[in-house]
Amino acid sequence: MPIYAAYGSNMHPEQMLQRAPHSPMAGTGWLHGWRLTFGGADITWEGALATIVEDPTSKVFVVLYDVTKEDEENLDRWEGSELGFHKKIRCRVERTSSDTDTEPVLAWLYVLDAWEGGIPSARYLGVMADAAEIAGAPAEYVHDLRTRPAGNVGPGSST
């Protein structure tokens, strides 16, 4: 079964249960040589979306899922792959199997097909931070998500 590496709001177990109900969590890991960033603020009403860019000095926490073909197609629709918002790539992820053991796995993930830059909404960052915390990300990683600059874009905002 293919392994999907989620680094954005799809890290959240409740969201993934809705979007990919037949695809269980398969652990967590780190995507080395990549940096979490945001872009595509013009694509969505809620501000910039999470994406990753290559950066040899960085790493991104990910939640891994064993994804069925049916759920992969459903995720593609959710992520706007048909509309060209995201592209799929494959990367080697260092799966964390315990506090000291790691094993590399090949996983697919979505990257935003848009310019880097823009401010995500506070709600979106909160979902990402909560999801990372639930999955066991280090406290400093969660703190970084919670303290990133955020906008109040969304229903009821004045922007």
121 is in an annotated binding site: no
Specify the amino acid at residue 95: R
Active site residue 73: no
98 is in an annotated binding site: no
What span, in angstroms and rounded, lies between the C-alpha atoms of 50 and 52?
7
CB 146: neighbour CB atoms within 10 A? 16
- Asked if residue 115 lies in contact with residue 7, where contact means CB atoms within 8 angstroms, the answer is no
DSSP letter string, 91-157: EEEEEESSSS-EEEEEEEEEEESS-B---BBHHHHHHHHHHHHHHT--HHHHHHHHTS--B--STT-
7 is in an annotated binding site: yes
141 is in an annotated binding site: no
Catalytic residue among 14, 70, 79, 103: 79
110 is in an annotated binding site: no
131 is in an annotated binding site: no
CB 29: neighbour CB atoms within 10 A? 25
Q: Which residues contribute to the annotated binding site? A: 4-9, 124
The catalytic residue positions are: 79
Q: Which residues contribute to the annotated binding site for substrate? A: 4-9, 124
